[in-house]
Structure 1
Amino acid sequence: MHQAHLLIDKIAVSEQFAHDLINAAQLSNKTEVDKLISATGLPLRSILNIHQTILELI
């Protein structure tokens, strides 16, 4: 749960990050999505779970 809050906080405070993340996800650019999420400090396992959730939401 803590990891989800890290990502949500980053999205909330950075409009550019949110835009970049959504854009990469919509383009199915997994490499860019992973890069953006890993920049928040989340571990790889969390990145994979979040990446799948994002793709399911859009």
Structure 2
Amino acid sequence: RTAVERVNAYLKEFFGLNHVRHRTGKKARLHFQLVTLVYNASRLATDRIKKMKAEQMSKAA
């Protein structure tokens, strides 16, 4: 539960999910889905970069 709450707090703070003001639920849902898509893509990219760097460091040693 704490891991999920940490992600929710991050999304609220850095992606502006605290202040979503749409007249319809459809727009709010789309906004949330786009934010989570961007968040997951950025996490995937950083994890892959970290993995590549770790592999390079192990090969160099």
Q: Higher relative contact order at CA 8 Å, sep ≥6: structure 1 or structure 2?
A: 1
Q: Which has the larger radius of gyration?
A: 2
TM-score if structure 2 supplies the norm length? 0.36
State TM-score, norm by structure 1: 0.37
Where is the helix percentage greater, Structure 1 or Structure 2? 2
